[in-house]
Amino acid sequence: MPSEQAVPFLDLLTSHDEMSAELDDAFRAVVSDSAFVGGRYVDAFERQWATYCGTREAIGVANGTDALVLALRAIGVGPGAEVIVPANTFIATAAAVVACGARPRFVDVDPETLLITADDIGSALTSRCRAIIVVHLYGQMADMPSILKVADDAGVPVLEDAAQAHGATWAGRRAGSWGVAGCFSFYPSKNLGALGDAGAVVTNDMNVAAAIRSLANHGRAPDDPDLHVHVGVNSRLDGLQAALLSAKLVSLDRWNAARRSVVKRYRAECADLPVQFVREDGDGVPVHYVAPIRVQSRDEVRRLLRGRGIDTKVHYPVPCHLQPCFREFSGQRLPVVEAAAQGLLSLPLSPTMSAEQVDSVCAALREAVNTTQDTRPVRQPGG
């Protein structure tokens, strides 16, 4: 019997403790320079993030939702437009579309990867479609080459919601660098997280970059802060968050590799259990923002795990097209997303998780699955 231990869904404290000197230094540097909004720490992080993603520009903004709204506005999405969005995503992807005055057009996803595909997009394209938002969900990139082909043929720009995919690649190229712009959140739980809210947009298009910089800073003209060329918003990155992000970026690749090891161990230890991991596509290297499985009697399994001190979440229990706030945009049934939502369960995952913790989760999961299966009224043939 493996040793019992409680496992939190995400442990931020251990990684922050490991780098407390660097975080303290970053804090002191920003305070002594009084560089609180914009300034050298924001400039430095923007350069580092663009380099990391392999893009010409990165623009720091207040959060990931604003990154999406500002990128949509910068490419001209507004009232009357339709934007294709996968129904299996965090609410903010679709809320950003509505915030621009446009209509989300929800589409289904691949049954095994749970990611949006070129086929899903192809069958949802209309003459009103002005953008496609591809979500690299759970840390895995969607198949961008085939999606870009369909989008390019239709003349529709693609935005990447890479809020769960910091550092993920497809054919060696980073998430966020494929579409007209890539949107990131640095919410604390993300693979690269600030110590508060923060976000960024990356792009190779200098006009899009300039539009986002202006819109995020009260619509200011680039060369005259007293001239406002757009009705903008205040969505700037704090110097403090930028300095903390720069300190943490040094460890991102190491943390992503550690996440991959944890998921590899989960897959090996759970190989004989009646649970299904999402399929990983050959050309992609995922960064595992979360580790979702699909399991029968999900809610009961979850409750049993909670009883053993194992903390889990569900990404996402209610698909976007079934959310009350999007009622007016939900025309049709999306069977893959709806079926998946019943069984999804995200296991604990932190870059600092030990092998013993992974084994504890697997042992508790094994017991929970056995219990829920034994109480099923109809048994599997031969079961």
Ligand X SMILES: *Cc1c(COP(=O)(O)O)cnc(C)c1O
* Interface positions with ligand X (CB under 6 A): 63-65, 89-90, 92-93, 135, 161, 163-164, 185, 187, 197, 199
- Residue of minimal CB distance from ligand X? 64
Query: Which of 167/372 has CB closer to ligand X?
Result: 167
Task: Please give the distance of CA 175 from its chain centroid, rounded to a whole number.
Answer: 11
Task: Please give the distance of CA 170 from its chain centroid, rounded to a whole number.
Answer: 16
Query: Which of 41/187 has CB closer to ligand X?
Result: 187
6 with 309: CB under 8 angstroms? Answer: yes
Query: Which of 55/65 has CB closer to ligand X?
Result: 65
Query: Which of 62/362 has CB closer to ligand X?
Result: 62
Q: Closest Cα to residue 348, out of 361, 332, 364, 366? A: 361
Shortest spacing between CB 162 and ligand X, in angstroms: 8
Shortest spacing between CB 383 and ligand X, in angstroms: 37
Shortest spacing between CB 163 and ligand X, in angstroms: 3
Shortest spacing between CB 313 and ligand X, in angstroms: 12
Shortest spacing between CB 190 and ligand X, in angstroms: 6
Shortest spacing between CB 98 and ligand X, in angstroms: 14
Residue whose entry in the numeric block shows the structure tokens 């031969």: 382
Shortest spacing between CB 174 and ligand X, in angstroms: 16
Query: Which of 194/358 has CB closer to ligand X?
Result: 194
Pairing between β-strand 129-135 and β-strand 82-86 as defined by DSSP bridges:
parallel
Shortest spacing between CB 365 and ligand X, in angstroms: 24
Pairing between β-strand 276-277 and β-strand 291-294 as defined by DSSP bridges:
antiparallel
Query: Which of 194/365 has CB closer to ligand X?
Result: 194
Shortest spacing between CB 121 and ligand X, in angstroms: 17
Query: Which of 142/301 has CB closer to ligand X?
Result: 142
Query: Which of 135/336 has CB closer to ligand X?
Result: 135
Query: Which of 41/138 has CB closer to ligand X?
Result: 138
Residues 337/338/339/340 CA torsion (nearest 10 deg) = 40
